[in-house]
Structure 1
Amino acid sequence: MDKTFHIITFGCQMNVGDSDWLTRALVARGWRQTTEEHAWCFVVNTCSVREKPEQKVYSELGRLAAYRRGKPGLLAAVGGCVAQQIGQGFFERFPFVRLVFGTDGIAAAPDALDRLAAEPDARVALLDFLPAYPEREDVLHPHAPHPAPAFDADAGEPDAGPAQAFVNIMQGCDNFCAYCIVPHTRGRQKSRAPQAVLDECRARVEQGAREITLLGQNVNSYGLDSGGCGVGFAELLRRVAAIPGLVRLRFTTSHPKDIDPAVIRAFGELANLCPALHLPLQAGSDAVLARMGRKYDRTRYLGIVEGLRAARPDIALTTDLIVGFPGETEDDFAQTLDMMERVRFESSFSFRYSDRPGTASVRMTPKIDETVAQARLLRLQSLQNDITKETLKRLEGSEAVVLLEAKSRKQDEGPSFWRGRDEAGRVVNLRLDDAGGGAPDGFRRDPAGLLVRARIVEAKNHSLVGERAGQPW
């Protein structure tokens, strides 16, 4: 079989990081990443947090099945949360799927794909949960290509560029929130050994990464699982921040119930810890939060926000919100809108509740009428759009340091725009060249990975437009 591959990624940044590692692991084995038109092996990395992404996986496999009729021998692999959930059922529904690997099975996926390339009739399932964090092989040698995986645009734009790196610090979750399928598809929490995290972070910086994002289902509970690792998240954060050459440090995702005061203080004490935090609220009503099993209330959440803004006044807060959870009243929903007004989240991922198999909320009643839930979601998203616009508008005239990622979708005639992110993670489209074309003074032909001081000249609905205010570095 021609060892060419194409990865399609759905879902969260954990999946983006997993696809990034799998890409590098396959390239190190002699595989070649290519476009969909030229690939003979497709890897679909899946998400089952919501019903829509799960259905998109089936749709994508159906599309590949039709595409396969013109390319006999095409091989597909399904990984991630839906693979963990459905397992070998994919073999029956889609015969050209020859590998399914769960969230702990990804470490063995490159070897399995090598085997399948050599054995056309073989099938492999890697679905067991492991008792400890499954370390992955080191594919960080300086000559390994590092192409970004294809990404599902509806799930959000990945923060991936040549100077950015994702590093897993844990796997799974022990919280068992009533609505959440993650503990069932990613297993119980397993913290990665701190030395392994530090070694990978140092290696990525040595290869040119200027920004690292630490990843986990709940990074705030790092080290608190039954196996433990002797180090808490606040200490791990400080150790990573001290790596020479690391310009920016981020982490996601945080559970409010576990955030350590030392982590809050770190935002004011660590110069390279970015002033941005994704802190899922999920609902603004104490009654709904209790039914969700979130183990915090409005007062606790607002106290965390107050502490964060005392430590770092310019911190940008984003969140997740669920509308229409079983039993949610109009007053409950109004309290969610009130929390949005109080906190002023810069952006949010908001969804209408849907039952996920195996979760406690499946049995909860009353279910909210879909028409009512959809109307609430639209009201919430309208309020968020207004807050986002106001927040971005206030940044006009200010300066920011932008880490360039890729050429921007915004391209007027003449000037060239590049997309990057400021310290808080906001998207900034930055004009780099003059109308005559060519790279400006101080810029290489491909400026991805450069840091540029920019002056914000215009706020769009969800992004900023800037002009450079200094030389790159």
Structure 2
Amino acid sequence: LNPDLILGLTGCLGQQEGEKLLKRMPYLDFVMGPDQVEGIAQAVDRVRNTGKSFVWTGFDQEKVYSIPELSGDLPKAPGPSAFVNIIKGCDKFCTFCIVPFTRGREKSREPEELFEEIRHLVNHGAKEIILLGQNVNSYGKRGLKNPMPFHELLYRVAEIPGVQRLRFTTSHPNDFTRDTIRAYRDLDILVNHLHLPVQSGNNQVLRAMRRDHTIEEYLDLLAELKSEVPGISLSTDIIVGFPGETDEAFEDTLKIMEEVGYSSSFMFAYSPRPGTPANELPDLVPEETKKRRLQETISLQSRQTEQQGQSFIGKNVEVLIEGRSSKPGYIFKGRNPQYWNVNMQGGEGILKAGETVNVQVEQVSGHSLNGKAIV
């Protein structure tokens, strides 16, 4: 249908599998690792010029992460919510994770380069900036000409005119500092939501995962955050069925979910990854047990999400409109500061994407709030 189509695959899988992917999927024109993503335009040109497929992987040897050609490459219509990569790679080496081996060590982008990109995005319509990284809290730890810790970056981004909302993801409990908690308290535009992966509620499992913190330390951090930022919404990542996880250890995870009260979770049954230390661990959990534990986890999260959602009914929530809603009977969609999806009726011909509006919540469906725009 489209003989001129150029098809490429990039990311961790490309870095890990390389030539194997080309053999398995001969229709691919190129395979690239994460460090080569900024060169995707050159990859496309190479295919057009040579007509041959190729693999481009490996790690760049620079100590910093830069996307220098900002003026030509940045989107001219980024939309109301825009992502900005601030750091790539990871130094944590959790036993279940392939990222440090496929994305390399942590590298941060220079602050001024980030500020320039954010100013561009805001000037072209972005209202919300989401700072991205495998571990954003490690930003600026090494390699920068102008060193800046993550919490200071938050304060500096908040000073940029036109940024109405600020978010970040993902965080690691070991690097989430008290200074970052104070940034939540001080910065009105830093929205009341945090995604902080817990993975397991059991210390023995956390040690096997090489998370390098205890569940007590994790809870102490959240207790301090909640005391400084009442009403903050929390989400997390959970892995069940990790090698050596007993029934009692799994119950610890359910207890933590109930104690914290996450609004949503990304939940997975453990699956081995070739090349990771966990792939060599003994005491594998049977597949049926993993499936049962995953379903229990999903059921608990669904109940918690429903319970929290009910608390919004009859209340007004502030929503940044992101675009048209795909839900029948609703006009626009967006998110509130706590990162709930919101579908709204009303405002046709009056409201548009990028505007902020109050919505009176009438219904809850999963992690979505449905209601009427107040115009």
Q: Give the Cα separation in 2 of the matches to 1:224 and 1:142.
A: 27
Mapping for residues 367-446 of structure 1, pairs under 5 Å: 367-412=284-329, 416-433=330-347, 439-440=348-349, 442-443=350-351
Q: Pick closer, same or farther for the CA change 1:145–1:236 going to 2, 3 Å.
A: closer
Whole-angstrom distance in 1 between the partners of 2:295 and 2:33: 34
For the 8 Å contact 2:335–2:342, the answer to whether it is kept is: yes
Quick one: structure 1 residues 142 and 183, their matched pair in 2 at CA, closer, same or farther if it must change by over 3 Å? closer
- Read off the aligned partner of 2:44 and give its amino acid letter: L
Equivalent residue number for residue 309 of structure 1: 226
TM-aligned CA deviation for residue 226 of structure 1: 5.9
Q: Is the 8 A contact 1:402 1:428 kept in 2?
A: yes
Partner amino acid for 1:351? F
Distance 1:77 1:195 in 2: 31
Residues 245 and 285 in structure 2, CA contact (< 8 A), matched pair in contact too: yes
Q: Distance in 2 between matches of 1:163 and 1:126?
A: 33
Q: How far does the alpha carbon of each residue in 1:347-380 deviate from its partner, in whole angstroms, 9 at most, with x for none?
A: 0000000111111111111000000111011011
Distance 2:209 2:73 in 1: 46
Change (3 A) 1:88 1:298: same
Q: Is the 8 A contact 1:107 1:134 kept in 2?
A: no
Query: Normalising by the residue count of structure 2, what TM-score does the alignment of the two structures yield?
Result: 0.95
Q: By how many angstroms is 1:94 displaced?
A: 2.5
The yes-or-no answer on 1:453 pairing with 2:358 is yes
Distance 2:152 2:68 in 1: 25
Superposition pairs for residues 234-253 of structure 1, below 5 Å? 234-253=151-170
- State the alpha-carbon separation in 2 of the partners of residues 392 and 366 from structure 1: 39
Equivalent of 1:102 in 18, 33, 48:
33
| 2:55 aligned partner | 125
Answer whether contact 2:342 2:369 (CA < 8 A) is retained: yes
Find the aligned partners of 2:65 and 2:301 in 1 and give their Cα distance. 39
* Partner secondary structure for residue 299 of structure 1: helix
Q: Deviations over 1:300-346 (max 9, x none)?
A: 11111111111211111000000000000011000000000000000
Taking the aligned partners of 2:90 and 2:270, their CA distance within structure 1 comes to 20
Distance 1:139 1:197, change over 3 A: closer
**Which residue of 358, 370, 375 corresponds with 1:465?**
370
Deviation for aligned residue 1:466:
1.8
Matches within 5 A, 1:281-360: 281-360=198-277
Q: In structure 1, give the amino acid aligned to 2:235.
A: T
SS in 1 for 2:116: helix
**1:140–1:276: structure 2 CA closer, same or farther, 3 Å change rule?**
farther
Is residue 205–residue 242 contact of structure 2 (8 Å, CA) maintained in 1?
A: yes
CA distance 1:311–1:250, change in 2 (3 Å): same
1:80 is aligned to 2:42: no
Q: 1:96 to 1:137 in 2, by over 3 A?
A: farther
In the TM superposition, residue 76 of structure 1 has moved relative to its aligned partner by 1.6
Q: Aligned pair in 2 of structure 1 residues 225, 360: CA closer, same or farther (>3 Å)?
A: farther
Q: Which runs of 5+ in 2 are unaligned?
A: none
Residues of 1 paired with 2:79 and 2:233: CA distance? 24
Aligned counterpart, 1:180: 97
Q: For the Cα contact (< 8 Å) 1:133–1:171, is it kept in 2?
A: no
Relative to structure 1, is the Cα distance of residues 460 and 343 closer, same or farther in structure 2, using a 3 angstrom cutoff? same
SS of equivalent to 1:104:
helix
Q: What is the alpha-carbon distance in structure 1 between the residues aligned to residue 266 and residue 170 of structure 2?
A: 13
- The secondary structure found in structure 1 opposite 2:174 is helix
3-state SS in 2 of match to 1:97 = coil
CA distance, structure 1, for counterparts of residue 74 and residue 354 of structure 2: 17
3-state DSSP class of the match of 1:258?
coil
C-alpha deviation, 1:109, in angstroms: 1.4
Q: CA deviation digits over 1:266-312, x for unaligned, max 9?
A: 11110100100000000000111111111111111111111111121
3-state DSSP class of the match of 1:425?
coil
Residue 115 of structure 1 and its aligned partner are, at CA, apart by 2.6
- Residue 195 of structure 2 corresponds to 278
Q: Give the direction of change, closer, same or farther, for the CA distance of 1:228–1:126 in structure 2 (3 Å limit).
A: farther
Q: What is the RMSD computed on CA atoms of the aligned residues? A: 1.9
Q: Aligned-pair distance for 1:101?
A: 1.2
Structure 1 gap segments, 5+ residues each? 1-69, 147-160, 434-438
Length-normalised TM-score, structure 1? 0.76
> Which of 44, 52, 58 is residue 113 of structure 1 equivalent to?
44
Contact 1:142–1:207 (Cα < 8 Å) also in 2: no
- Conservation of the 8 A alpha-carbon contact between 1:74 and 1:96: no
User: Shift of residue 134 of structure 1?
Assistant: 4.2
**Corresponding residue for residue 136 of structure 1:** 67
**Alignment partners' CA distance in 2, 1:191 and 1:237:** 14
Is residue 456–residue 464 contact of structure 1 (8 Å, CA) maintained in 2? yes
1-structure distance, mates of 2:26, 2:200: 42
Cα deviations across residues 419-468 of structure 1 (Å, max 9, x unaligned)? 110111110001025xxxxx34x43xxx1221111111222222101211
3-state DSSP of counterpart to 1:82: helix
Shift of 1:469: 2.0
CA deviation after TM superposition for structure 1 residue 225, in Å? 3.9
Per-residue CA deviation, residues 116-161 of structure 1 (Å, 9 max, x unaligned), is 12332x3333212013344225355699554xxxxxxxxxxxxxx7
* Contact in 1 for aligned 2:65/2:110 (Cα 8 Å): no
Match of 2:110 in 1: 193
Is 1:92 matched with 2:6?
no
Aligned length: 374
Query: Equivalent pairs: percent with the same residue?
Result: 39
